[in-house]
Structure 1
Amino acid sequence: MKHATIAHPGGTASAVRQLWKRRFDQYRKEASGYWAYVARSQFFGFLFLLFIVSSYYYAKTLDQLPTTFPYLWIVLVLLIPALSAGSVRTLLKNADRVFLLPLEPVMSAFFRPAFRYSLIIQSLRGIVLTLVIWPLYKHCTGENVQPLLLMLLFILLIKTANLLGSWQEGRFSSPGWRLLSQGYRWLLTGVVLYVLFGKGPFIGGIVLLAALLLWILIYKLLPGRQAHGVAWDFLIDNERRQQHRLYLFFSGFADVPQLPVRVKQRRALAGITRLYRFKPSSLYLYLFTKTFVRSELLGIVVRITLIAALVILAVQSVAAAALVSAAAMFITLMQLTSLEQSHRYTFWLQTYPVNERMKIGAVLRIVAATFTVQGVILSLLMLLSGAGVYSAAPLAALVVGLLLCATVMKRKFTASFETE
């Protein structure tokens, strides 16, 4: 194998490129399945609604904002983390440090597409945030505003430089040097952004070039740098951390087998089951109440309610507050439908001498009770905010939601039960 690698380096590089393609296709297929769950949860609809409401009040705020507003601090707070943070997704696995080690001389064919993919995905964050900041920047700079495309080009250059720096930091044998280099990148990114948005792209370009040359000089002189080879341990550990963060995000919308099931004690809330009568018909009600209270699903419902409450109290338009409250309730209802699938593959439930159809009624009772509590809370907040007749919006959404529970959701759960 070693002689074949030396004799046919082009063929080996081609095999390494095919390995990346297979890894990426597998990753894309897995991620697209989870993104489908995210889409079904109406998460994107909520983001779109939040975007519309935020855009409206953003424009109104700009109309009243003085041109002397210190916009540069907003620019730095938003763009420094977006451009400085992040590393290359390599899709490496633990076994690669052994099986791919002989191919290290041609691994650049694997890492180049990995770098391009990471740069495209992470650059989108910087571009989106720049577009968000742009109306504020244009409002405060007036006639001195710079061309948008030119500024976006500089954003891409800064992001590319940071990602290259992050990649080279993997060669440091000392974590201390790596941390020092990261701090240096964050500081220089802030300086370049400050000059770019404060003085213009010409001076910003000079500062960016000087910062790159200084970083390269320091990188070459650092004694803790590894001279050659692939930093397998660093890259594999970094890939594991990034994939874990992605799984954590997806776990808020679907069960992720790659993550251990997180059970939160929440003793105070879990104690509500003491109110249930001790009889066979309460079995599923007890089980799914415990499941709901101790799972991440309760946290999702609480976060949705808090976001809706903050919007209701913050916005001045009662119509927008009513729309947000109703949308939040229906997003919650969609999330609560996943409770029915919690114990679908639990073997021990099949051994209980209890009619399994009681599960449907138990889940519907929990969903309806949770939905009612949220509706009452949002209705009270609407009343306290002086929404007047618009305070009826959460109550109307509550009535519609309960009707959906009694009809559509009941049929859906029954169909799901019959197919098990």
Structure 2
Amino acid sequence: MKKFFQERMKRYQKKMQRYLKYVVNDHFALTMTFLVGGIGLYYSDMLKTLPENFTLGAMLVLIIWLAALPFGQFASLAKPADMVFLLPKEKQMREYLSEGLKYSCYFPFAALLLIGGAMMPLVVVSTGQSFSTFIWYLLTLWCLKFSQLLIQRMSLFQDMEKATKNASLLWWIISMGTLALCLFIYPVIGLILAVLQNFLFYNLCWKNMHAPIDWEKMIAVEQHRLHRLYRFFNLFTDVPEISAQIKRRKAMDGLLQRIPYDTKNTYLYLYARRLIRGTEFSGLYLRLIVIGGLLLFFIPERWFALAIGGLFIYLIGFQLLPLYNQFQYVVIAQLYPIRSEQKIQAMQKLLSLLLVVTALLFSGISLLALESWRDSLIVIAGYFAVTGIFLKFYLPYRLKKLSD
């Protein structure tokens, strides 16, 4: 079963790498460079203003680490056909799930390494401890995450709902107490407690647990995990495994009725209707506006606010570009007696409206967040400059490339 899991894992990784090449591209690298650089600069300047033994900072670190612990789920890589073909091997499935536990540690352990390292400067300022204690914090976070994965694996067995809820509640209490000991007393004490709770959950959730596998639940949990991954990849490329949902959204009919009933607006109506009633692009647009708006609301520095706002305006425009090819393979649309240039013009009109609305929203938020009118005017001018550059230069180039 160990070899079987490794073969399945290789096929899974190969598939994920095929999608990742569309995510980790030049645009992603540029975006992350600006985002991480800006946040890092703001974070560094903020740390210089904090007093020594800043207790509130330790509380903030505790909250962030507790929020980071649930990152990453148990990956069983189970398939719907396993319910039939692997049922005779149920006794050997414990070895298979043990391999799944090892594989499930990679992503959350890497995420905790980055998050834990990012929080260490604040830990040093807040507690007076040295950077050398990072290894104790990291091992503690890893031990706590490992225990949560043990609980998630236990939930895949029959009649384990109540046991899973009780174990999860106990895990949260222990995690909070362990991290509090690390931050407010001494990291090694928290690490010892984290190691001990690993033994506790291993015995409760695996060694002394002999229930049969709940095949339907295991497959459903894995399919849900994959669906969330595919939804993320679908922001960058078409994913055959996921299909967008269509919602009526009758309240939005008034917006569609504002488009003049004319042949020259055919594609403008189609694109607007697809945007409003399809969850794929409308959800993406709203999520980016909400995330960008929340970030801008807590940024009081003008250049950082300008960089973040401009970045999100670019991201919104770039992520909505695949809307252009939504009707490319629709036969009835190809039969329309309409020039192909109308598609480009319609896309330019729709994106112009969406990006101008975004710039206006971000401008209003910046007016509230920034202290001086001068800074606000500079940031607002920057938002509309980014919008204009995107619409005037970048958008025609990308649309021409998509049409070719």
Q: Shorter-normalised TM-score: what interval?
A: 0.7 to 0.9
**C-alpha contact (below 8 Å) 1:309/1:378 kept by paired residues:** yes
CA distance in 2, matches of 1:148, 1:111: 31
SS of 1:246's partner is: helix
Map of 2:260 onto structure 1 = 277
Cα drift, residue 405 of structure 1 = 5.5
Change (3 A) 1:178 1:391: closer
Letter in 2 for 1:31: M
Query: In the TM superposition, what is the alpha-carbon distance from 1:93 to its structure 2 partner?
Result: 0.9
| Inter-partner Cα distance in structure 2 for 1:406 and 1:71 | 43
Q: Which residue of 2 aligns with 1:23?
A: 8
The SS at the match of 1:179 is: helix
Give yes or no for contact 2:356–2:384 (8 Å, CA) kept in 1: no
Change (3 A) 1:135 1:287: same
Deviations, residues 238-280 of structure 1 (Å, cap 9, x unaligned): 2122112222323333343323322233434442222233232
**Other-structure match for 2:318:** 334
Q: Residues 229 and 375 (structure 1 numbering): CA distance in 2 closer, same or farther, change over 3 Å? A: closer
Counterpart Cα distance in 2 of 1:117 and 1:217: 20
Task: Show the counterpart of 2:109.
Answer: 123
Q: Could you tell me how far apart the structure 2 residues matched to 1:29 and 1:216 are?
A: 31
The one of 141, 151, 154 aligned to 2:140: 154
Give the distance between the partners of 2:193 and 2:394, measured in 1 at CA: 61
Q: Which amino acid aligns with 2:176?
A: G
8 Å Cα contact 1:46-1:328 kept in structure 2: no
Q: Which residue of 1 aligns with 2:40?
A: 55
Aligned to 2:393: 404
> Is the Cα–Cα contact under 8 Å of residues 340 and 363 in structure 1 kept in the other structure?
yes
Q: Deviations over 1:142-189 (max 9, x none)?
A: 157762223222322232233234323433523122211121122212
Return the TM-score normalized by structure 2.
Answer: 0.85
Q: Is the 8 A contact 1:89 1:114 kept in 2?
A: yes
One of 113, 126, 136 as aligned partner of 2:99: 113
Match of 2:75 in 1: 89
Q: Is the 8 Å Cα contact of residues 42 and 334 (structure 1) preserved in structure 2?
A: no
Contact 1:319 1:390 in 2 (8 A): yes
Give ranges in structure 1 of 5+ residues lacking alignment.
Answer: 1-12, 416-420
1:234-249 map, 5 Å: 234-249=217-232
Match of 1:319 in 2: 303
User: Structure 1 length normalisation: TM-score?
Assistant: 0.82
C-alpha RMSD over aligned residues: 3.1
In the TM superposition, what whole-angstrom CA distance separates every residue of 1:102-152 from its partner, at most 9, and x where no partner exists? 233444553343222211111122222211221111112215776222322
CA distance in 2, matches of 1:370, 1:143: 48
Distance 1:217 1:56, change over 3 A: same
Q: Match of 1:89, SS? A: coil
Q: Which of 140, 152, 156 is the matching residue for 1:166?
A: 152
Measured in 2, the distance between the counterparts of 1:61 and 1:155 equals: 25
Question: How many angstroms apart in 1 are the aligned matches of 2:247 and 2:254?
Answer: 13
Are 1:41 and 1:331, in contact at CA under 8 Å, matched by a contact in 2?
A: no
Aligned to 1:298: 282
User: Quick check: 1:83–1:189 contact (8 Å CA) kept in 2?
Assistant: no
Structure 1 residue 267 corresponds to structure 2 residue 266: no
Choose from 359, 365, 388 the match for 2:343.
359
Q: 1: CA distance between counterparts of 2:336 and 2:225?
A: 41
Larger C-alpha radius of gyration, 1 or 2? 1
Sequence identity, in percent? 23
Q: For 2:129 and 2:260, how far apart are their aligned partners in 1?
A: 73
